[in-house]
Amino acid sequence: MNAAADLRSLGAARPTTPHFRRNHFPTPPIDPDGWTLALGGALSEAMLLPAVSLRAFEPRILPAVLECAGHRRTELDPPAPGLPWRTGAVSEAVWTGASLGDVLRRAGIAPEAVEIVLRGADHGDSEHGGVRSYARSLPVAKALHPDTLLAYEMNGAPIPIAHGGPVRAIVPGWYAMDSVKWLTSIRAVTRPFAGPYQALDYRWREPGEPGPGRRIDRLSVHALITAPAEGERLPAGPTVIRGAAWAGEAQVARVEVSVDGGGWEVAEIERRGLYARALWRHEVDLAAGLRRIAVRATDRRGATQPERPVPNAGAYCANAVHRVAVAVEER
């Protein structure tokens, strides 16, 4: 079995429904059979592509993590506006699509283009005033990267409308707000895009810092404990701790586990891949009592999860050491 078939098989074995969802506006009316994608702006040729025509390009298949920039927002103090995510606003799927770069090169991207604006069909009354549609832009270099996809399949099947089908962007290694759903328009522009969901939202700004701050893009290194769960009751003795870690383009280099504030021990990474989750395990010997288990990951660039969430105006990118408390009982 070749690598593409292996990935298709991996995706087909995964349920799609549990994948987290986050929309700014209600799901738009969708006609998958009549869906078209308009390309324009600083291109040699404006194009109107039926969704099915993307299958004529060489398909790329990628397992990729999508994480909301507001994931674990509730852990920051003081609270910030925005959807009050705890853990859970992160998922992995196997995505199939055409490389956005292949499509742009077919249309003839102009040398003076600096960004590619991706616009979805979802729209509504905006907190920034008026009726707006959701749109984000990518620097040309990221748009032309072969792994940036115009995806039409999720886990081996057409992307469900609830998850952005029939065509959505997948920008692996970056926070999920750039993976625009229900794509209707791709436009090459010669000056930076100033839409509100780019120029005002999803910006990193230190407390008290003037101005909008800097754009958030690349995923931060992150590990979570998935078993045992918070508050679970366990028998004393050897216990296997399991979880997932991710770091986007930087990849996960190391995962470490600590119990009750003791020393950090290196966990075994059972599976890893570019853009995908690293699945890890670590066996510890738990004594009876209330035990607090912590995990942290380090990426290949040397970044490690901080002990506490780093304050910022939007409460974004909360990737502090993850901890769960468990009740351990004598056997």
Amino acid at 256: E
Round the CA-based radius of gyration of the chain to a whole number and report it: 21
> 263-304 pLDDT, tens per residue?
999 999 999 899 999 999 999 999 999 999 999 999 999 999
Find the range with the poorest average confidence among 13-17, 174-178, 199-203, 282-286. Answer: 13-17
The answer on 129 and 172 residing in a single domain is yes
User: Quick one: pLDDT at residue 11?
Assistant: 47
Q: Which tokens hold the place of 182?
A: 């229900």
The answer on 315 and 172 residing in a single domain is no
User: Quick one: pLDDT at residue 1?
Assistant: 46
Q: Which runs of E-coded beta strand occur in 126-236?
A: 131-139, 149-154, 157-158, 168-170, 183-189, 203-204, 214-215, 222-227, 233-235
Average pLDDT in the chain: 94
Count helices and strands in the chain by DSSP H and E runs = 4, 21
The answer on 174 and 107 residing in a single domain is yes
Q: CATH no. for residue 165?
A: 3.90.420.10
Give the separation between CA 239 and CA 258, rounded to whole angstroms.
Answer: 13
pTM listed for this prediction? 0.94
The answer on 260 and 119 residing in a single domain is no
Give the separation between CA 5 and CA 105, rounded to whole angstroms.
Answer: 27
User: Which residues neighbour 135 within 8 Å (Cβ) at sequence distance 6 or greater?
Assistant: 117, 118, 119, 120, 180, 185, 193, 195, 197, 198
Q: What is the band of 3 on the pLDDT scale with cuts at 50, 70, 90? A: low
Q: CATH no. for residue 260?
A: 2.60.40.650
| Residue of 90, 107, 92, 91 whose CA lies nearest to 37 | 107
Region 50-63: mean pLDDT is 97
Tell me the pairing of strands 131-139 and 115-125.
Answer: antiparallel
Domain with 31, as residue range(s), is: 3-215
Give the separation between CA 159 and CA 289, rounded to whole angstroms.
Answer: 46
The answer on 289 and 171 residing in a single domain is no
Q: Is the pLDDT of residue 2 over 70?
A: no
Q: Is the pLDDT of residue 161 over 90?
A: yes
Q: In the chain, what is the straight-line distance between the N-terminal and C-terminal CA atoms, in Å?
A: 46
Q: Could you tell me how far CA 34 lies from the centroid of its own chain?
A: 28
Asked if residues 286 and 328 have their Cβ atoms less than 8 Å apart, the reply is: yes
The answer on 128 and 56 residing in a single domain is yes
Region 75-89: mean pLDDT is 90
The answer on 275 and 232 residing in a single domain is yes
Region 55-63: mean pLDDT is 98
Give the separation between CA 309 and CA 307, rounded to whole angstroms.
Answer: 7
The answer on 230 and 190 residing in a single domain is no
The answer on 285 and 205 residing in a single domain is no
